[in-house]
Amino acid sequence: MSQVISPAQVAASLTELWSPRVVAELDDSYVKVAKVHGSLAWHSHDDEDELFFILKGSLTIEMEGRTVVLNEGESFVVPKGVRHNPIAENECHLMLIERKSTLHTGSEVTDKTRSLADQLRPVPSR
């Protein structure tokens, strides 16, 4: 996956919501993009931090005891072990940086949960 990419263009081309796609990897981490709208699910990642970077739109991340709102160009790291629920009032495009061991919705499984195999599928061609 060593190629020039535009995370914003890849995210815009996605047709499935809440279905992150791997666009690059570095060391023990994946760089993913996603198109989201609505709410994902309350979950946590016991052993991994998760970085959210907003490419377009805004995202609210509810956490126990705290809520953050991220706008285009802003980022936030949800620390490992912190239960959180991402919510997008309107369509939002985001980039995630996560360790390769990070499960999409942690130990919670919902109809929106995506396997790593799903996330590694090729992204749409430009």
Output 37 or 2, whichever has higher pLDDT: 37
- Show the tokens assigned to 121: 């599928």
Rounded to whole angstroms, the Cα distance separating 68 from 14 reads 25
Domain borders along the chain are 7-102
CB atoms within 10 A of CB 80: 14
Identity of the residue numbered 76: F
Give per-residue pLDDT as tens, 44-85. 999 999 999 999 999 999 999 999 999 999 999 999 999 999
According to the CATH classification, is domain 7-102 in 2.60.120.10? Answer: yes
